[in-house]
């Protein structure tokens, strides 16, 4: 993983994470952007990085990536579209969806500011490094490994593994245990494929569902946020081709399970 330095924020108080050690000239392209007035800056999410081609955020748990039938405005896409349009109803600026995080998953999420940037990121997405952190129930016998299965979705929008490869899509999840408590394990997970609910399904079927998962988790557990966080994302910039790594700090909720160890 490339060295990541914290740079002075362009639009205080938003932190920017970019590999300035390897690419010190990259900041110059960012300084060409005009500051956005405070009244138009997005609420409910944190901007990690922004330039003329992409915008990278730390999405909070509970916020949708894109609109759903039951919610059209309280989404990361809608909030950021309003932000780049500076509140103007006449603006035709668009924001393009590159990937999605589940509503209750927090962490790094990237959007493209042009169709060309979106297409570039889509083409390289299989090679993008996606690192998550999760808290699961129980102690895993195998402290590291790769879970492989074929996932399919039923009529109730529930995803599960199927034996027939022709009826599902290949899904691979690599993991390692980084900390344990009596009843919980903290995992670092690399998403090798990006299927719907992949991480949640794989660990549920392994007998170690994620904490706070009301869909695939333990029945009757106390209600809490989903313990799944998109920690790092590494990809090549769609215009410059430079490799960038973005980090969203792991929420304190995850650490609370292991404070007394």
Q: Where are the domains of the chain?
A: 5-127, 131-228
Q: Which residue has the tokens 């946020």?
A: 225
For residues 239 and 48, what is the distance between their CA atoms, to the nearest angstrom? 18
The backbone torsions φ and ψ at residue 111, rounded to the nearest 5 degrees and listed phi first, read -120, 155
Write out residues in the chain with pLDDT < 70, as ranges: 1-41, 69-73, 87-89, 260-261
- Other C-beta atoms closer than 10 Å to the C-beta of 8 total 8
Entry pTM: 0.82
Q: What is the pLDDT of residues 217-260, one digit of tens each?
A: 888 777 889 999 999 999 999 999 999 999 999 999 998 988 76
In this structure, are strands 228-236 and 129-137 parallel, antiparallel, or unpaired? antiparallel
pLDDT at 247: 95
* Class in CATH terms, 5-127: alpha beta
Domain 131-228 fold: Pseudouridine synthase (3.30.2350)
For residues 135 and 139, what is the distance between their CA atoms, to the nearest angstrom? 11
- Let me know if 102 is a catalytic residue: yes
- Proportion of the chain above pLDDT 90, given as a percent: 67
Q: What is the pLDDT of residues 24-46, one digit of tens each?
A: 444 444 445 555 555 666 777 89
Which residue among the candidates 51, 102, 104, 213 is catalytic per the annotation? 102
214: left (phi over 0), alpha (psi -120 to 50) or beta: alpha
């Amino acid at each position: 993983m490339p060295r990541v330095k914290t740079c002075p924020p362009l639009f205080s108080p938003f932190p920017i994470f970019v590999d300035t050690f390897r690419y010190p000239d990259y900041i110059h392209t960012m300084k060409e952007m005009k500051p956005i007035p405070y009244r138009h800056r997005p609420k409910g999410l944190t901007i990690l990085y922004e330039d003329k081609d992409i915008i990278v955020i730390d999405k909070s748990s509970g916020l949708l990536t894109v609109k759903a039938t039951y919610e059209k405005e309280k989404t990361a896409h809608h909030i950021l579209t309003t932000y780049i349009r500076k509140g103007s109803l006449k603006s035709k600026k668009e924001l393009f969806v590159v990937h999605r995080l589940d509503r209750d998953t927090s962490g790094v999420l990237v959007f493209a500011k042009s169709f060309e940037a979106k297409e570039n990121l889509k083409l390289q997405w299989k090679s993008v490094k996606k690192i998550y952190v999760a808290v699961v129930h129980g102690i895993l016998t195998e402290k590291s490994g790769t879970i492989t299965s074929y996932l399919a979705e039923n009529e109730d929008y529930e995803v599960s593994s199927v034996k027939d490869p022709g009826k599902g899509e290949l899904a691979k999840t690599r993991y390692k245990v980084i900390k344990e408590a009596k009843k919980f394990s903290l995992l670092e997970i690399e998403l090798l494929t990006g299927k719907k609910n992949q991480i949640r399904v794989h660990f549920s079927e392994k007998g170690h569902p994620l904490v706070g998962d009301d869909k695939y988790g333990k029945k009757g557990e106390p209600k809490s946020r989903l313990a799944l966080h998109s920690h790092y994302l590494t990809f090549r910039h769609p215009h410059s081709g430079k490799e960038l790594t973005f980090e969203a700090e792991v929420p304190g909720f995850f650490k609370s399970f292991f404070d007394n160890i």
